[in-house]
Amino acid sequence: MTEKVAHSSLETLRNTRIQKLNDLVDKGINPYPYTFDRTASAAQLHEKYKDLPNEGEDSEVFSLAGRIMAMRNSGMFIDLVDSSGKIQIFTHKENVDEEKIKLLKLLDVGDIIGVHGNVRRTPRGELSIKVKDLKILSKSLLPLPEKWHGLTDVETRYRQRYLDMIMNEEVRDTFLKRSLIIKEIRDYLSQRGFLEVETPMLQTIAGGATARPFKTYHNTLDMDMFLRIAPELYLKRLMVGGVSEKVFEINRNFRNEGISPKHNPEFTMLELYQAYVDYNEMMALTENLISSVAQKVLGTMIVTYQDREINLTPPWDRMTMIGAVKKFTGVDFGQLLSVPEAAEEGKKLGAEVEEGDTWGVILDKVFEINVEPHLIQPVHIIDYPRDISPLAKPHRDDNKLVERFETRINGWEIANAFSELTDPIDQRRRFEQQVSNKRETDHETPAEVDYDYVTALEYGMPPSGGLGVGIDRLIMILTNAASIRDVIAFPTMRPKINI
RNA sequence: GCGCUAUUAGCUCAGCCGGUAGAGCAAUCCCCUUUUAAGGGAGAGGUCCCGCGUUCGAAUCGCGGAUAGCGCACCA
């Protein structure tokens, strides 16, 4: 192997910092110490001293720590950033001994330091820490992006998210909000008696949705397994078991499909089930849950998403799927029940109807093209075709439909819910039909029937409402994120050498 | 999977009709020292994404490839 000569610019910059690190060690300073006792955050001091006048000074000494984001006047002024915000650090030779002034020479933007000092507001109004002592807490070896333009290259932002977070406060804010949103969902459900549970990620039959799964292999058991595409069939087994009449899970699903601004191969889903209620109760729960989370986290139920105002205040509109199609196209699929008739109208309305499409599939395609783009405000689209909904109970008033709704916000499917199918004989028939109709090119339908699930139903599952909510998309709307990658800390990327 | 676009210094970007690469920030050294993108000066820093081709000559043109973004398809 030839020796690589370190002459790249980055290598030089890194070597310069390693030299500083060695100088620190030579001075007997550990550049990576163990602890630092903080007594304040930047935001706490801004709040406490918000009325301090220019040139005003207080004698109380605080300790705080954070990352150096800028240095001015040879380090006399430092912008220190912690998770609460930014505060200026003022280190003057009048206040500290000479060793500390020399230490400034060995600091760089990006280093993490701890300081002790009192608070003073400068003549120009900048609240500052007048340093009495200063300590390096972590030496940074690589240069941060430029302070003015920051990091904008999207590829680097996603690949090296830590840099994106260091440089972009709004990115930190998005992930803070993500955490708060999920916490509020948990709190909301827990307060209403829902039990949080966990179900298998590794499954032998990837059921509960129509999607292409990731395949993997268990060595000891010598068998293929799949990463789950949905937790549904296991959560409903829990409903049979009856540990709780209300259960929920917030966790990852994996789907081996295309990547887009709205799709990541792994994404977070909330699924919940409640015994003795139907899909009407799920509609009320959906809008109350989402609106109250928005109120708690954002302080409002009216959000702006990409220049559009979205009002999450309940109650939300409801439209039947057939009614919605009729409203936007004038065509009543409730009167077009034969497949040839439906196919003909569907094609006229722009749907790409394929051989073998059922009435429900055609209606769904027509809906997607002609209705979905109009559904900006929250709306529950109710009563789906039976043949595209194998896990939902037949509609009590119309046998070709099921009691299912999808909640649309900004045109996207945010929630999907039904009166759960609990009839084991009907369920067995639908699964078997699905599997026998599976075509060669169909990678989404499971290859075999999940008979264990059918057996569970045969022991009896209480009538239940079930609900799934796409958490990432909900967070996108609540944080005004243009891409799902902006709300997933480490989105799926092709690996790249040489970053 | 297909189409469009992008890729130049650590970062943000210029670079025209092909003539051999520039700025600002960061870094280094010097000066200055209550700054707010601090200021002044000096020097340094490059696999122009990769490969092949055209050409006397390619960052620039052509072909192939890589990665990414967007759109389409699939889906939530």
Take residue A6 and report the two structure tokens written for it.
Answer: 């370190």
Does pLDDT of A1 surpass 70? no
Nearest nt by C1' to A120 Cα: B34
Nearest nt by C1' to A262 Cα: B76
Protein-to-nucleotide distance from the CA of A292 to the C1' of B22, whole angstroms: 55
Asked whether A250 and A208 are in contact (CB, 8 A), the reply is no
Q: What average pLDDT score do residues A437-458 get? A: 89
Residue showing tokens 């986290």: A297
What distance in Å separates the CA atoms of residue A453 and residue A449, rounded to the nearest whole number? 9
Q: How far apart are the first and last CA of chain A?
A: 21
Protein-to-nucleotide distance from the CA of A99 to the C1' of B14, whole angstroms: 43
Protein-to-nucleotide distance from the CA of A232 to the C1' of B25, whole angstroms: 53
Q: What is the mean pLDDT of chain A?
A: 94
CA angle A336, A338, A339 (to 5 degrees): 110
Residue A444: predicted pLDDT: 85
Residue A53: predicted pLDDT: 96
Residue showing tokens 């800390």: A489
Q: What is the DSSP string of A76-116?
A: TEEEEEETTEEEEEE--TTTS-HHHHHHHHT--TT-EEEEE
Protein-to-nucleotide distance from the CA of A146 to the C1' of B24, whole angstroms: 10
Nearest nt by C1' to A122 Cα: B34
Residue A336: predicted pLDDT: 87
Protein-to-nucleotide distance from the CA of A438 to the C1' of B64, whole angstroms: 39
Residue A6: predicted pLDDT: 39
Protein-to-nucleotide distance from the CA of A74 to the C1' of B28, whole angstroms: 14
What distance in Å separates the CA atoms of residue A485 and residue A191, rounded to the nearest whole number? 31
Protein-to-nucleotide distance from the CA of A110 to the C1' of B46, whole angstroms: 25
Nearest nt by C1' to A268 Cα: B76
Take residue A490 and report the two structure tokens written for it.
Answer: 């480490």
Residue of least CA–C1' distance to B28:
A16
Split at pLDDT 50, 70, 90, the class of A4 is very low
A244-266: buried (b, 16+ CB within 10 Å) or exposed (e) per residue? bbbbbbbbebbbbeeeeeeebbe
Residue of least CA–C1' distance to B13:
A149
Instruction: Report helix, strand or coil for A174.
Output: helix
Residue A499: predicted pLDDT: 38
Residue A497: predicted pLDDT: 62
Give strand ranges (E) for A341-448: 379-382, 394-395, 398-402, 404-409, 412-419
Residue A498: predicted pLDDT: 46
How many C-beta atoms lie closer than 10 Å to residue A442's C-beta? 12
Q: What average pLDDT score do residues A249-267 get? A: 95
Nearest nt by C1' to A152 Cα: B12
Asked whether A490 and A265 are in contact (CB, 8 A), the reply is no
| Whole-number percent of chain A with pLDDT over 90 | 88
Residue A189: predicted pLDDT: 98
Protein-to-nucleotide distance from the CA of A326 to the C1' of B68, whole angstroms: 41
pLDDT in tens, A355-413: 888 999 999 999 999 999 899 999 999 999 999 999 999 999 999 999 999 999 999 99
Strand order in the sheet with A404-409: A195-196, A246-254, A266-275, A464-470, A412-419, A404-409, A379-382, A317-320
Asked whether A195 and A246 are in contact (CB, 8 A), the reply is yes
Strand B nucleotides in reach of protein CB atoms, 7 A cut-off: 1, 9-13, 24-28, 31-39, 45-47, 66-76
Does pLDDT of A462 surpass 90? yes
With DSSP H G I counted as helix, E B as strand and the rest as coil, what are the percentages for chain A, rounded to 5?
A: 35, 25, 40
Residue of least CA–C1' distance to B39:
A73
Nearest nt by C1' to A13 Cα: B27
Q: Which residues pair with A65 in a beta bridge?
A: A114
| Whole-number percent of chain A with pLDDT over 70 | 98
Split at pLDDT 50, 70, 90, the class of A8 is low
pLDDT in tens, A314-338: 999 999 999 999 999 999 999 988 9
> What domains appear along chain A, each with residue ranges and CATH number?
9-144 (2.40.50.140), 167-316+377-486 (3.30.930.10)
Residue of least CA–C1' distance to B71:
A260
A128-154: buried (b, 16+ CB within 10 Å) or exposed (e) per residue? bbbbeebbbbebbbeebbeeeeebeee
Residue A355: predicted pLDDT: 83
Protein-to-nucleotide distance from the CA of A318 to the C1' of B58, whole angstroms: 62
